[in-house]
Structure 1
Amino acid sequence: MRLKRSLKATAAVCSLLLVGGCGLFGESSASSSAGFNPPDLKAQSELGRTEGQLNLVAWAGYVEDGSTDPKADWVTPFEKQTGCQVHAKVAASSDEMVKLMKSGAYDAVSASGDASLRLIASGEAAPVNTDLVPNYQDVFFGLKNQSWNSVDGTAYGIPHGRGANLLMYNTREVSPAPTSWSAVFDDASRYKGHLTAYDSPIYIADAALYLRETRPGLHIENPYALDQEQFDEAVGLLKKQRPNVGEYWSDYLKEVSAFKSGDSTIGTTWQVIANLARSEGAKVKAVLPQEGSTGWSDTWMLSAKAKHPNCAYKWMNWIISPKVNAQVAEYYGEAPANIKSCDETSDPAFCDTFHATDESYWKDIAFWTTPIEQCLDGRTNVKCVPYSRWVQAWTEIKG
């Protein structure tokens, strides 16, 4: 589950360092999902007349029309410009998004990487013709042609934004300052009852990422491509961690409250949550550990059954336009997808705080990707554990 309600990121104190050129607009050379063969669907070749309506499934805070916050409204000007009346359904989890998209009632969805390949594999998501989305050319190359939004060079969506899963700790209670995920795994007993972790099966990848760096003998290359032995080790690490976890969090407000009260002193977080917690008086700091981290990158995906595909294309171009993408990024608390958005944020330090232009930062982030049997790391001599088994294991881990 992602944010249950939207929020605007609190002001940061860093200065903005804009990066010009430097290959930020180039295509990525990231490998595709090896052995993964989705249904043979064709992308739309040209835009037709808009249909007057658009039905979306989205995370809270992504489709704002001023009803939640009068200052947050990028839907109304879209409707006026295109004639497409927007109807949005807020989903509380990736699983809910997949279920809603399978109903055929929605034109597009802001899917995270733990849902996107499921939508592609089932034929629910259609390939997207990026030539019909002019603002796509200004999307950071680190978000293009990635394993969670493309297959064999074919795009299945338009990148929306990205964020990293960080390690947050109470600076008064945790000393010395942690630099490794070992604080929540091998040393978890030091914080028994006050450790927190993200409540989702995809958190198994966090354990796998740590094992990739600390147990080289397991030969983990991709934390979302785990054979049975690798998977069992990751699950075992989380079961060992479990007695020390005071609370698994999915609602960002609860995590903020827990760190303010002292119920939680260390655990996973997002940058926006750390900012908010500090603004409310919590003595916390968030760091990217030396092993790197997992993270999330959301993609606007078009339904293969879309009744209003032209409006959907107009929306995908609108939501990543510089000014709008900046509005959404600041309101939600994430790095924007469009590099030009960094000139449009109300807080001049925003893109620096969220590392928007720092591609070297994102190279250490393993973005959520749906685990499938075809190993995403290219191995063909074994089968990897699919997401359905991750869900079962997560239930066992939590008890």
Structure 2
Amino acid sequence: MPNLTKAPKLEKINFTKCKKLSDVHPSIKVLKQLQELRMSCTRIKQLRTELMVFENLKTFDLSACGNLIKIPDLSGAPNLEKIDFSYCRNLGKFHSSIKVLKRLQELRMSNTQIKQLWKGLVVLPNLKELDLNYCENLIEIPDLSGAPNLEKIDFSYCGSLCKVHPSIKVLKRLQKLKMCGTRIKQLWKGWVVLPNLKELDLMCCENLIEMPDLSGAPNLEKIEFSYCESLCKFHSSIKGLKRLQELEMSGTQIKQPWKGLVVFDNLKELDLSCCENLIETPDLSGVPNLEKIDFSYCESLYKFHSSIKGLKRLQELRMSCTRIKQLWKGLAVLPNLKELDLSFSENLIEIPDLSEAPNLEKIDFSYFRSLCKFHSSIKVLKRLQELRMSGTQMLNRPRIWVSQSRSQSKNRWFLPLSLLAIRRQLKNH
């Protein structure tokens, strides 16, 4: 770093990706008007040992400094708003001076060796974002009661983290909570009021044994419990989540999502794929705005609820590798359905009537081994672009293979039957 003595009015310094930079010139102390200091992706080991006063410093970025072993004393920069030490892989301890940073809004420490952020109560009244994802040595969440204005928390893939601090209950402004890939068994006990919580991500929490009571978080829009392999039951409080838009529960031990009619007017995506214990789909008549449904690889699923016929906004339906024998009886009016995947449905004995799904663009009946003829309704599918039929028992199959050109589609699909050949075959029968 050059001598900066003759530039005392500097406000912004950016040495990002100066990969040979390993030391800071002592003249940096004279930069009393400095507001931004960015030194990410350098070889810095330690900034300075002595206290430096930067009253105007707001942004401090030392991310991806792989040699950094120690955070400097920050008490001389009390107006800091953003700190980023992400990917400082040798950094194992946070300096106690964080306690004086009353204006701090964002703290990013992902992919560090941090074991504990701070001990006891630390008052950070303006802190809004806390990111400690992939801190594999982190063993506990700090007391957050002194940061009541937190909006986003990310502890994803902190593989040693097994307990949530009870102070999470006071975070009334919390909007996003991500703790996927941790070892927690329970998020919280009893009723916790988080009125602004919109997104809850606990994906891949293999030790999680129960879903928390969510009745105190009525504004949740997205819930992610995918691949929580010990989770086998829904909490009844889910019925009160009227603003829920996405529910992801793939790879769990769920047998039944809910009983009877449950109203989710805003739910658009429902993913219960790879739920091996799921035996029947729930009543979906209270979810009229669903756009995407995935029950793929639910190998025990043998029954589909008739309420699917009322899903006028449904666009994608994925049911590959299930045990269902019949998708629906008679007509199902699905004017917006574009994708239908029934591949590897070995028990399915017939293609459903698709005449009221005229906007279908992609159909996959691959390895639908009982399939030996088409339903005549396929003739009305004028917008059909892709059809997969490999591994079926179709008789008199023309030896025509068609691939869509790159100009027509990003995906190149090879079809054992061209649409023209299918229509000719249907006319002859």
Asked whether the two chains share a fold, i.e. TM above 0.5, the reply is no
TM bucket normalised to smaller: under 0.3
Normalised by the size of structure 1, how large is the TM-score?
Answer: 0.18
- Structure number having the greater helix percentage: 1
| Higher radius of gyration, 1 or 2 | 2
Greater RCO, 1 or 2 (C-alpha within 8 Å, sep 6+): 1
Normalised by the size of structure 2, how large is the TM-score?
Answer: 0.17
